[in-house]
Structure 1
Amino acid sequence: MLHLRLITPAERTDDVVRLIERTVGTTHLVVLRGAARNPAGDVVMCDVAREAGHELLTGLRELGIEQTGSIAVESIDLSLSKRAEKAEEEAPGEGADAVLWEHLADATHEESTLSVTYLAFITLATMIAACGVLLDNAILIVGAMAVGPEFGPLAGLSTALVQRAPRLALRSLTALLVGFALAMAVTVGFSVFMDAVGLFSESKLEAPRPNTSFVYAPDWFSFVVAVLAGAAGTLSLTSAKSGALVGVAISVTTVPAAANAAVALAYGDTRQTWGSTVQLLLNLLGIVLAGTLTLLAQKWFWIRQRERAHRASELA
């Protein structure tokens, strides 16, 4: 269930209440006349089944509530109410399958913003991965994958393509390009420093690395894994199962590939630099492609499901 807290202009409150009452899957409606002070207006609260959330939010935005008032949405972890159970039963579909597009757009907007924190995380992850590839240490590689924040902009790009949001697409592309460019540039300097103090060496880079050689040897399996991870990551975002994102992060080799490309560039090894770059691009392409197709499939599935529900209600 979702909990909505609305601030509505007094002249719009009746329209909002009617919208909530006719939306299947809503309950616990509360109206507090004149309770809001900034902005001034009425406070309207209700609970809605997750699968009906997008329809209700769309109607509220059509009434212009986000422009003249406020719309706040919270997830309810526990609701002990027969009315809530009845509302979820009446709402078409399953809550786990519903996509709350407004929440997805807001989440990907935040995750795809080029911030100091984002740049710090992607740079540190790439430097950790650089140590991992030189030491042929799979544990460090996994740790770098988990630290890397690049899935946010990738999910933002997929969302932008499906929702036709050019600003989100530009923001996501900027975060990806600037983030990886800065991380790789810093890692080149880091590699030179580590070589100067005797911790990195070209012999380690060129030595057999059975645990990490995959980062500069791209193949079709790299693309397949990226596609599967992209689909899983997108599903984890849309279903609010964020725990799955950790598994997604350690399934793709974006950060390790960028790290190996940077280290190889520092030593002038064009073969590994090129191979790692191709690996990086394959992973980025696979994740974006899978994320976009997953969102399109969810959108199509949900539209068909709602159409069947409406036809069933009309026949009833």
Structure 2
Amino acid sequence: MLHLRLITPPDRTDAVVRLIETSVGTTNVAVLSGAARDPVGDVVLCDVVREAGHDLLRALRESGIEEWGSIAVETVDVSLSQRADEAERQAPGEGADAVVWEQLTEVTHEESTLTVTYVAFLALATMIAACGVMLDNAILIVGAMAVGPEFGPLAGVSTALVQRAPRLMLRSVWALVAGFALAMTLTAGFSWFLDGVGLFSRSMVEGPRPNTGFIWRPDWMSFVVALLAGSAGTLSLTSAKSGALIGVAISVTTVPAAANAAVAFSYTDYAQTWGSTAQLLANMGGIVLAGTLTLLTQKALWARRKGRPIAGRAGARSAP
């Protein structure tokens, strides 16, 4: 269930309320006349089941409400109401299978922004992975995978491809390219510093590493795992099951590959540098490909199940 809070000019409130009341899956409609101050207007509240959320939001946006008012969406964890249960029965499909595209775009947009915090997390994750590489410690590698924030912009690329959103695409690609470039540069400097104080040495990166040597030797299994992880991660975003993202993060070797490339470069071991870079690109490519195909499949299946943009209640008109 989603909770919508709308601000509308008084002369358009009735039209907005009619749109909500004639849309399937809505309930708990309330109007607070003159309650809004910025922008000035009425406040309209309603709940809509998740499987009907995208259609209602699309209709509201097409009516121009985001231009002369505002739309806020929150997730309702618990709703105890017979009317809400009836709204669930009226709506097509299941809420767990529905994709609220506006919500997904907003989440990926936020997580695909090149911020100081994003770069800090990515750099710290890459440095932790560098320690894991040099010590041949798989636990540190797993920890670094969990810390890395790179799935956000990767999901942003997939979302941008499906939604044809060039601004989100540019933002996501920039976050990936600049983020990894900065993280790898800082990690190379980190390696030189630890080498200077005697904690890292060339023999550590060039010696046998049974636990982490796979990082710079990409193969088809690496790509297969990236495909599976990309699909699982995308499903976790669209179904709001964010807990699955941890499992996705520790399934792919994006951050460890970046770390191995940076460390190997600092010791002029270019074979490992290029091998690790290929591993990084293969993993990112697999995640983006799987994420895009997953979103396209969800979109096609939902459109087929739903049958039409917005189903009206008995005797009600369809949304414009």
Quickly name the TM-score band, shorter chain normalised. Answer: over 0.9
Match of 1:231 in 2: 231
Match of 1:89 in 2: 89
Alpha-carbon deviation of 1:58? 0.5
CA offsets 1:56-80 (integer angstroms, 9 cap, x no match): 0001101111111111111111111
Structure-2 separation of matches of 1:41 and 1:309: 29
CA contact (8 A) 1:233 1:244 kept: yes
CA contact (8 A) 2:56 2:310 kept: no
Does 1 or 2 have the higher relative contact order (CA < 8 Å, sep 6+)?
2
Structure-2 separation of matches of 1:145 and 1:214: 15
CA contact (8 A) 1:98 1:302 kept: yes
Structure-1 separation of matches of 2:274 and 2:261: 7
Letter in 1 for 2:251: S
Alpha-carbon deviation of 1:274? 0.9
Match of 2:178 in 1: 178
Alpha-carbon deviation of 1:284? 0.6
Alpha-carbon deviation of 1:309? 9.7
- The alignment partner of 1:32 has SS state of strand
CA contact (8 A) 2:22 2:313 kept: no
Q: Specify whether residues 82 and 64 from structure 1 end up closer, same or farther in structure 2 by C-alpha distance, changes over 3 A only.
A: same
Match of 1:241 in 2: 241
Q: Specify whether residues 276 and 15 from structure 1 end up closer, same or farther in structure 2 by C-alpha distance, changes over 3 A only.
A: same
Q: Does the alignment pair 1:297 with 2:297?
A: yes
Structure-2 separation of matches of 1:28 and 1:187: 53
Q: What TM-score do the two structures reach when normalised by structure 2?
A: 0.96
CA offsets 1:101-133 (integer angstroms, 9 cap, x no match): 000110001000000000100001000000000
Alpha-carbon deviation of 1:15? 1.0
Structure-1 separation of matches of 2:124 and 2:10: 51
Letter in 2 for 1:231: S
Letter in 2 for 1:289: L
Please list every run of 5 or more consecutive structure 1 residues that lacks an aligned counterpart in the other structure: none
Match of 1:128 in 2: 128
Match of 2:112 in 1: 112
Q: Matches of residues 1-316 of structure 1 in structure 2 within 5 Å?
A: 1-307=1-307
Q: Specify whether residues 175 and 64 from structure 1 end up closer, same or farther in structure 2 by C-alpha distance, changes over 3 A only.
A: same
Please identify runs of 4+ aligned residues in structure 1 that moved more than 4 A: 308-314
Q: Specify whether residues 116 and 8 from structure 1 end up closer, same or farther in structure 2 by C-alpha distance, changes over 3 A only.
A: same
CA contact (8 A) 2:32 2:44 kept: yes
Identity, % of aligned positions: 74
Alpha-carbon deviation of 1:32? 1.6
CA contact (8 A) 1:92 1:309 kept: no
CA offsets 1:137-165 (integer angstroms, 9 cap, x no match): 01100010001000000000110111111
- The alignment partner of 1:34 has SS state of strand
Structure-1 separation of matches of 2:282 and 2:311: 43
Structure-1 separation of matches of 2:158 and 2:35: 40
CA offsets 1:183-210 (integer angstroms, 9 cap, x no match): 1111111111111111111111111111
Letter in 2 for 1:262: A
Please list every run of 5 or more consecutive structure 2 residues that lacks an aligned counterpart in the other structure: 315-320
CA contact (8 A) 2:55 2:309 kept: no
CA contact (8 A) 1:151 1:249 kept: yes
- The alignment partner of 1:42 has SS state of strand
Letter in 2 for 1:23: S
CA contact (8 A) 1:216 1:257 kept: yes
CA contact (8 A) 2:145 2:255 kept: yes
Q: What TM-score do the two structures reach when normalised by structure 1?
A: 0.97
Structure-2 separation of matches of 1:88 and 1:146: 36
Letter in 2 for 1:56: L
Q: Specify whether residues 309 and 153 from structure 1 end up closer, same or farther in structure 2 by C-alpha distance, changes over 3 A only.
A: closer
CA offsets 1:47-96 (integer angstroms, 9 cap, x no match): 11000000100011011111111111111111111110110111000000
Alpha-carbon deviation of 1:311? 9.3
